[in-house]
Amino acid sequence: MGKKMIYQSQKGEMAALIVETEAYLGQKDSTAHAYRGHRSPANEALYGPPGMIYIFSLRGRMMLNFITQQREVPQGILIRGIEPIIGKEIMKKNRLKHGFELTNGPGKLTEALGIVDRTLNLTLLNQGSLKLDLGKGYRPQKIISAPRVGVSRRGSWTDKPLRFFVAGNPYVSQLPKQQMDLINHGWQNF
């Protein structure tokens, strides 16, 4: 949380802080695309090295994931929410929205960035147009864990607390307004 993601699009550079993710733990996770070792051309990126980008389509929107484990261990994180810091005007034009609705959901953020297809799938972070700065970043005051959003009801993994978000950050999806920190956005060093 709080790491800067940078995307260089044809329209210009955009950057945002990661504020919400969901973990998917591969073969044992009944909600994961690699459950029970499922492997296909569509999810091959899951089996790649750490830092590989996995993009899939859900309801016509692209979902952005980063692989987190070594090769052949299909685990990763879905990026669910980002707080724009550079290129916000480009994002607004891409999405035709503004305010917190701009990037407070996995499909919303890819649309705002202009990621509309699977071109980045099977590429590595920091070796192309999408980069992740693992430097200092912003420090959350608190990180909350909760059940993942919108996963299929499949077994005991459905309600596991594998969604993580910056407490109070208004760019977190489905965050009630009364829980939003509109001054510091949940950061210690905002």
Domain of 154 in residue numbering reads as: 4-179
Instruction: Give residue 114's pLDDT.
Output: 98
Structure-block tokens of residue 118 = 């699977």
Rounded to two decimals, the pTM is 0.95
pLDDT digits (tens, 9 = 90+) for 15-49: 999 999 999 999 898 888 888 888 999 999 999 99
pLDDT score at 190: 65
What is the per-residue pLDDT for 166? 99
Q: Hunting for tokens 């499949």 — which residue is that? A: 154
Number of domains in the chain: 1
- 185 domain-assigned: no
Output the CA torsion 77→83→84→90 (10° steps): 70
CA dihedral sign, ordered 97, 57, 79, 164 = positive
CATH of the domain at 160: 3.10.300.10
Contact 1, 166 (CB under 8 A): yes
User: Quick one: 98 exposed, middle or buried, by C-beta within 10 A (0-12, 13-18, 19+)?
Assistant: exposed
Inside any domain, residue 189: no
Backbone angles phi, psi at 45, to 5 degrees: -60, -30
Residue 113 has pLDDT above 80, yes or no: yes
Checking if the pLDDT of 82 tops 80, the result is: yes
Average pLDDT of span 42-60: 94
Residue 65 covered by a domain = yes
**C-beta separation of 166 from 143 below 8 A:** yes
Residue 110: pLDDT band by 50, 70, 90 thresholds? very high
Q: How far apart are CA 115 and CA 100, in angstroms?
A: 19
**For 68-86, what is the mean pLDDT?**
97
Q: Give domain status of residue 190, yes or no.
A: no
**Cα 37 from Cα 190, distance rounded (Å):** 42
